[in-house]
Amino acid sequence: MSRIIYGVSGEGSGHTSRAREMVRHLLDKGHEVRVVAYDRSYASLKDEFDCLEIEGLHIVSRDNRVSALGTLAYNLRRARKAIARNRALRHLFDHFQPELVITDFEPATAWLARWRGIPLLSLDNQHRLRYMKFQVPASLLLDRWLTRLIITLMIPRPNIALATSLEQGPGTNARTRIFPPIVRQQVLDLQPANEAFHVVYVTSAFDSLIYTLKCFEDRIFHVYGHHAERVDGNIHYRAFSGDAFVQDLARCRSVIATAGFTLMSECLYLHKPLLALPMTGQFEQQVNALFLERSGCGMNARRASVERLQAFFTADAQCRASLQHYNAALQARGYERYGGAAIKQTLDELLTELARRQSRRLTFPTPLAEGVTHERCDTPR
């Protein structure tokens, strides 16, 4: 069995839910795992796993727009604490002597692995933007180049990249395999319903959206992300709780949210129409929203206007038909999409091969499995 350090980004909730499923799997297989995380990921994972808290990059946004100055100022204020906590990380590497480092877009563990010659495996959704072929409009070509540059600066080239993606496109190198999203077991166990309210999820204050929602007095909105617990007319502010949120997600009529990868994956699984409001300055969210628009499973809104929300509510039946078609097509092909079985099996094979070779060289032990990387998911209209 292997000694593994698993680094987890603290931005958003997607890294946390994916890492939880994968770390549980690794522990069940008998591996020794130490988790390294910060912010939301550390708070969520520390009670279940052996977890070290570090400091990490935090993105500041205002009204659904990334604030470059706010992000810089916030992270500079945390620099001294980051230096102290990264000493503890080096101490962990010294004493635990990991045989493999897995990073879910967490830079500190990744760079320490590179500097110490330890095999590095990336397991996230960001590396599909770096190592998967996909088309974007001409207006986003510069953003795609900048995003790939940022990913390259944050995470050194991994020995192996296991990337999750809503669409299954071809990889750009032999070190990469593309997999479907990993939906957490808590969501897989839900029984969906369609009650008379809509879930709204934002990661920070998004005042212009709230003003727009108030125009629809005949509709009820359960709003998460404003760190409040109160009722204001048709707006029901909910303090974030994992259990309460997933129950609302299962019961709601539709979802209005930023275009985050994990929530979009869960909406697809639960057959929930999604109005995506991609955050300005977040290229990945733009890509996710474009996929949603092409698939017909929801709509892409560049701003939260009354007209766009009304169009979304009117298109409810069409979105539901596309969701049914989308999931039925996957099931008919026998394509395992949501549980993460394929990526877990690949990880097991890699670890078996790493132990067999007793070396620091990490490569795929078997040829590419048919339908894992190069099969493209159909996106029905």
pLDDT at 376: 36
Residue 371 is assigned to a structural domain of this protein: no
Residue tagged 């007209």 (tokens) = 307
Over residues 346-358, the mean pLDDT reads 85
Residue 253 lies in a domain: yes
148 in a structural domain:
yes
If asked whether residues 140 and 202 sit together in one domain, one would say: no
Residue 189 pLDDT > 80: yes
Per the structure, the count of domains in the chain is 2
The residue-averaged pLDDT of 250-276 equals: 94
Q: Is the pLDDT of residue 368 over 50?
A: no
What is the predicted pLDDT for the residue at 380? 33
Residue pLDDT, tens place only, 5-38: 999 998 877 899 999 999 999 999 999 999 999 9
- Give tens-digit pLDDT for 135-154: 889 999 999 998 899 899 88
Candidate from 74-78, 84-88, 287-291 with smallest mean pLDDT: 74-78
Note the pLDDT tens digit of each residue in 200-248. Answer: 998 666 778 889 999 999 999 999 987 778 999 999 999 877 688 999 9
Are the CB atoms for 133 and 169 separated by under 8 Å? yes
Whether residue 238 sits in one domain with residue 327: yes
Q: Is residue 374 part of a domain?
A: no
Cβ within 8 Å of residue 324, ≥6 positions away = 271
Lowest mean pLDDT among 53-57, 175-179, 220-224, 374-378: 374-378
**Same-domain status, 40 and 91:** yes
Supply the CATH number for residue 118's domain.
Answer: 3.40.50.2000
Residues 60 and 157 in one domain: yes
Residue 377, pLDDT above cutoff 80: no
Whether 43 and 149 map to the same domain: the answer is yes
Average per-residue pLDDT for the chain: 85
Using the predicted structure, report yes or no on whether residue 375 has a pLDDT greater than 70: no
Q: Please name the residues in contact with 380: beta carbons below 8 A apart, sequence gap of 6 or more.
A: 295, 296, 322, 325, 326, 329
Whether 166 and 253 share a structural domain: no
Mean pLDDT of 174-187: 89
Q: Examine the domain organization and report whether 165 and 192 are in the same domain.
A: no
CA distance 58 to 244: 25
- Kindly state whether residue 379 falls inside one of the protein's structural domains: no
How much of the chain, in percent, has pLDDT values that exceed 90?
A: 60
Asked if 24 contacts 57 with a C-beta cutoff of 8 angstroms, the reply is no
**203 or 352, higher pLDDT:** 352
Same domain, 228 and 311: yes
pLDDT higher than threshold 60 for residue 373: no
Quick check: is 58 in a domain?
yes
Same structural domain, 301 and 217: yes
- Phi, psi (degrees; rounded to nearest 5) at 327: -75, -35
Amino acid 64: pLDDT: 55
Q: Which domain holds residue 228?
A: 186-332
Residue 358 DSSP label: T
Please indicate, yes or no, whether residues 149 and 268 belong to a single structural domain of this protein.
no
* Same domain flag for 216 and 161: no
Residue 369 belongs to some domain of the structure? no
Query: CA separation (Å) from 154 to 68, 122, 226?
Result: 17, 12, 29
Identify whether residues 173 and 232 lie together within a single domain.
no
Residue 381: inside a domain, yes or no? no
Eight-class DSSP state of 33: E
pLDDT computed for residue 374 by the predictor: 37
User: Which comes out higher in pLDDT, residue 371 or 225?
Assistant: 225
